[in-house]
Structure 1
Amino acid sequence: MTIFKTDRLEIKEMKEADLPFFIELMSAPEIIDPIPAPKRTEEEIIALFNGFIDYPTNPLIKEKIIWGIHEKGKDEMIGLCGFLTNDEDQREIGYRFRKKYWGVGYATEVTKNLIAYCFNDLELSTLTADVNTENLKSVKVLEKFFKPVREFYNERDQSLDRRYILEKADWLKQ
């Protein structure tokens, strides 16, 4: 099922055929290291995938929901996006792309449209996003839309992260 579309992308619920791309997105060092994210075994990644493909009718009833990103008209999943609940019980957006799709503006495009989906369709009033401060490309994307509120040491990922926030009222002014 399609969740929303952008000019060049289609965000969809993941299906079994997306598993090989999901494994790459969750394990390739060039993708995981800048985040950083914990290293997982293939069995752990498959278990995560199986949990994510059980989509509820209302995405807000889950703490974490992940969708596949596809170029319009193509079956191959090129990235992931979704939202989760952070340590302060706020909704947080996130995304990641396979390396061969970096540098073409997809991160900005999906972030802008994911924000719009969360505010307009899900009727959220506030969104956050956390990023490793050394992940400069994602910092640049988030600063187009969000304002930084604090930096903190992320114990789990062992990185210095920055939290960003965006209120719906501020989004409507942009």
Structure 2
Amino acid sequence: MNWIIETERLYLREIDVQDVDDLFEMDADPQVHLYIENNPVQTKEQIVEVIQMLQRQYAENGIARWAVVDKQTGECVGWSGLKLFRTPLNGHVDFYELGYRFKTKHWGKGYATETSRAIIDYGFDRLNVTSLYAITHPENEKSIHVLNKLGFQFIETFDYEGDVTNWFEIRRK
């Protein structure tokens, strides 16, 4: 396998067609979509389209969200990674945004924190960026807790496509 990052319990690699069933399980769950701007998927074909979009991002930008794979079971438990925003968002352009999403049965295991720490290091050390950003719904207390634990600072609240959204930043030390 082509692992990009390895943590204590997890591997991170590019998402591909082998992940359709796991990503469908995750993205069809309404709980997973409670605080994000889109609706649960209805078909596996929608997941295939997402995978194709991610593969274009890998080819064009060299980066996109990565599959998070449990080392012991081999299960894809969700995704985590950086997205390169080439179009303006909240007054910024050409920046990397940290994001993560996991199957509900894996919530509370620390996977968001574990993968994000490694991804932050990747962004600062490998991509040589000076800042990384994250966005979340103001009521998503668990995600806000993760971001605070990682060292992200709340900057402001802004309108993201009609939704009130929190903007966070972490700077390289």
Bin the TM-score by the shorter chain: 0.7 to 0.9
Q: 1:21 to 1:161 in 2, by over 3 A?
A: same
- Name the structure 2 match of 1:66: 65
* Alpha-carbon distance in structure 2 between the residues aligned to 1:64 and 1:30: 27
Offset at 1:56? 4.1
Deviations 1:67-116 (A, max 9, x none): 10011143210010122216121211100110000011111111111101
Deviations 1:123-163 (A, max 9, x none): 111100000111110010001220011101222xx432110
What amino acid maps onto 1:52 in structure 2? L
Q: Give the alignment partner of residue 167 of structure 2, picking from 163, 166, 172.
A: 163
Offset at 1:64? 6.3
Q: Give the alignment partner of residue 110 of structure 1, picking from 111, 115, 122.
A: 115
Deviations 1:33-70 (A, max 9, x none): 1224345553333211122235747xxx4286121001
Offset at 1:27? 2.7
Aligned CA RMSD, in angstroms, stands at: 2.1
Contact 2:80 2:112 in 1 (8 A): no
Unpaired segments ≥5 residues, structure 2: none
Offset at 1:117? 1.0
What amino acid maps onto 2:9 in structure 1? R
* Alpha-carbon distance in structure 1 between the residues aligned to 2:30 and 2:119: 25
1:120 to 2:125 alignment: yes
Would you identify which runs of 4 or more consecutive aligned residues in structure 1 move more than 3 Å? Answer: 38-41, 53-57
Unpaired segments ≥5 residues, structure 1: 170-174
Equivalent residue pairs, number: 164
Contact 2:30 2:39 in 1 (8 A): no
Instruction: State the secondary structure of the residue aligned to 2:31.
Output: helix
- Name the structure 1 match of 2:135: 130
Contact 2:132 2:170 in 1 (8 A): yes
* Alpha-carbon distance in structure 2 between the residues aligned to 1:37 and 1:9: 27
